[in-house]
Structure 1
Amino acid sequence: MKFEFEKEILEEYDKFTLSENLIEKESLRKSIRGKIIAQTELNSLDYQILGLIDTESEDWKDNSEKIIENFEKAVEKDKSNFMAQLYLAHIYHDIGNLELALKNYLKVDTKALKEFQLWRYVKLIEQIGFCTYKLGNETAGIVLFEKVLNWYKQAPENELARPSELVECLPKNHRIVTEIKKIEDYLE
């Protein structure tokens, strides 16, 4: 029974993420939330989806505490849910709490993430580098950005996410920025 429910929720969540119609998106958000909350006991995936549907709302910052709470519950319910751990770090990053973002990025199961999606793994290294750099340890941040650059050098074209945090941290004339711009020629 729970398997069928999860399948149905995931299908509805897929529609939600793909929808560009704000009215449809809000209707799907309410439907998903209602179905999940109606369950007698919520599991890790349920809490993760509740967090995700709220991150994709116009007023997500107003709901950031609830989003954090849902991702925390997802991790509590299943410590192996590395995506919930990653999303928890992302929300802290997005609200500017780099200390808690870094703390949570460092808890992500990197081996599982790398096996799941390489681009997310490389982006995680970059985000850890960003937080580390911005929190005052520029040298350690640069070491992590160097690792990111090495991944860009060996990955097939368009396999990795835009290295926006790296470019934001380092001066335009920094060797890493210069090299990454040669690889990712869309960067200005």
Structure 2
Amino acid sequence: MNYYSLCHEYLIDGFTDGNVKFSPALEDHYQTGRDFCFSNTSVSLIMDKKVKRLTSDFFLTTCGAFFMSEEMKEVVDDCKNQLVFIPAETKYFNGEITEKKYYFIHDSRKISCFDYFQSEYSGKALTIKNKQSGVLAKDHRVRGVKKFVVDASSSEGLDFLFVNNVIWIDPVVSELLVEKVKKHKLLVRFEPIG
């Protein structure tokens, strides 16, 4: 199976950021892959004043929170994922509501499907040696990825996932999801990996 990185910036919109507020406030800083209880949580997002028009269907804010449009959510819902979606109240800096409706997305679990052998990255020889001898630290993070390969047998068949043990911001998505997004002509950018 072919995989893609779902890029957090859509080139036409350029810089996309805003102030994210969780209500009630989270007990700790937000991070994808951490287990948070979002029951009865609302999310609001006030776009940075540099953002004049938001057209992208997927973006990342500085605090690490990803957002996707309602149209993109419908496509992702039709594919295998483990995401939590919370409707977000999204407004421009001047208080006007954004043209599209957006959802905050969260994945409490990153998947250990990075292919250490087929991928290319900094310190590969030592990482593989430590992995094969069973001394690779559980919290070891691969850095400097030049070629990212997903071990499909460990991806749990997910079409949208975040990968564990590698410094890689963007989610990884399947070719199936990419084709569905393209069919709906959503404004997102993919980069092939592998």
| TM-score of the two chains, using structure 1 as the length reference | 0.22
The answer to which structure, 1 or 2, has the higher relative contact order (CA under 8 A, 6+ apart) is 2
By percentage of residues, which structure has more strand? 2
By percentage of residues, which structure has more helix? 1
| TM-score of the two chains, using structure 2 as the length reference | 0.22
